[in-house]
Amino acid sequence: MKLEHRSAGVLLHISSLPGPCVQGEMGAEAFHFIDFLSSAGMSVWQTLPLVPTHSDRSPYNGLSVHAGNPELISLSVLHDWGWLSTIDVGDRQQAMDEAHTHFQQSGSDEARADYAKFIADQSHWLDDYALFMVLRDVFNTPWVEWPAAERDRDPVVMQSRRDELATEVESVRFTQFVFDRQWSILKRYANQHRVKMFGDVPIFVAYDSADVWANRACFRLDEEGHVSVVTGVPPDYFSQTGQRWGNPHYDWSYLQRHGFDWWVDRLRSQLSRFDLLRVDHFRGFESSWEIDANEQTAEQGVWAKVPGLELFTTLEDRLGPLPLVAEDLGIISVEVEQLRDDLGLPGMKVLQFAFSGDADNPHLPYNHSQQAVVYTGTHDNDTSIGWFDGLDHETRAVVSDSLDGDPQAMPWPLIREALASTAGLAMFPMQDLLELGSDGRMNTPGIEGGNWEWRFQWDEMADDLAARMRVLLGRYGRLVM
């Protein structure tokens, strides 16, 4: 993918939007946010993965790589469609059940046709996902602990379960239809306002997910579905003991023999939803860190080679030009850089990483290239104010001198540095535009609890923020007219 025009955007997950529910939704506030981006002259809205999550609410620990998170569905929009008589934000499942009943009894011919098409087009993942979610409620345990027949997907038992639980399965399928319908409307509104939607594809999938349960041959599991090695990264900037993610590793030999079909289906789903995609943990497509499942940290492991070039070549052959950005952060080898460059993918530069090390630090602005996306920070970083306040005196002096700005004005010197970069796309976490400290942090890698909960309120935004950003974008050649 070529970044041919200078542009800028904001990183904000849907769940961080304001609103009356536990987390943000694809309702009026989402459309309002697009209006803000448009008025500020910005052309990209980057979200985190939209997947249904486990109880930790991490969008990088999803129950499916294809499905949408039902918690992001706007009940107000359902009410506007006439599918809900009242809005009760306290009982979402009851609201979805009422909407489903209304749809079955009096849905328009057009909506029914759309539903039938959605079911047919998405059956390759939707049928398994719907049954998985219902069985997960029945057994209330991860799939690897289910009775052997359900765990191992015995064909006779599976059909019996589909018949027995048909009503519940259909409810899950309907909910996914509603998610897809609302997202499509939101994305169309964004594109009409010259805003591109920028998604995120985690390299690995959750062990307890419909993807692993329904596609066990794609993963390195034993006959009972247990793992011997799990994913993670060795010690790095974010953690002295590394990060033990715990996802199962792919059986790349199996995937190769089957033409990477599983990955083709996965990426096709995301390309239908987004204009751009960030490929998370890109270095894992060159080699991945394998940790013995019995290890409690990620300190002990080995790098295992991955056929990344063959995978992405196949994806491009099957799906056409790929609008991908490589998340090439962390321990990056020459081989990883070569893979990224061979594929022609832009990489990422993070200014919070720029002010340590030598002059060849790739995150330093004068080392950027047009084929890059520059960030002040990411969802895994502290906010820029929190980061700056946490630096030692010597490093703070280096940052202040390098940015030639008033340290009291942070994060604006860092924002201007990103805008001035030669990188084709400049991205800003919403927290930085709101000048928030560490209490606005989205995620702290390696720390359980307290993550993925941050939300903003409109009254935190300066009245002149859109106008101020529009002036800056014009000054640095990133304004979308």
- State the catalytic residues: 280, 327, 380
Whole-number Å distance between alpha carbons of 75 and 379? 27
The H or E element spanning position 96 is helix 92-106
φ, ψ of residue 301 in degrees (nearest 5) = -175, 180
Q: How many residues does the chain have?
A: 481
Assess contact for 230 and 293: CB atoms under 8 A. yes
Assess contact for 78 and 174: CB atoms under 8 A. no
Rounded-to-5 percentages of helix, strand, coil across the chain: 45, 15, 40
Assess contact for 70 and 92: CB atoms under 8 A. yes
Distances (CA, A) of 249 to 45, 303, 364, 448: 31, 12, 34, 22
Residue 302 pairs in a beta bridge with 290
Neighbours of 137 (CB within 10 A): 11
Distance of CA 473 to the CA centre of its chain: 26
Q: Which residues contact 11 (CB under 8 A, 6 or more apart)?
A: 46, 47, 375, 378, 379, 427, 428, 429, 430
383: closest CA among 354, 346, 411?
411
DSSP 25: -
Whole-number Å distance between alpha carbons of 19 and 379? 21
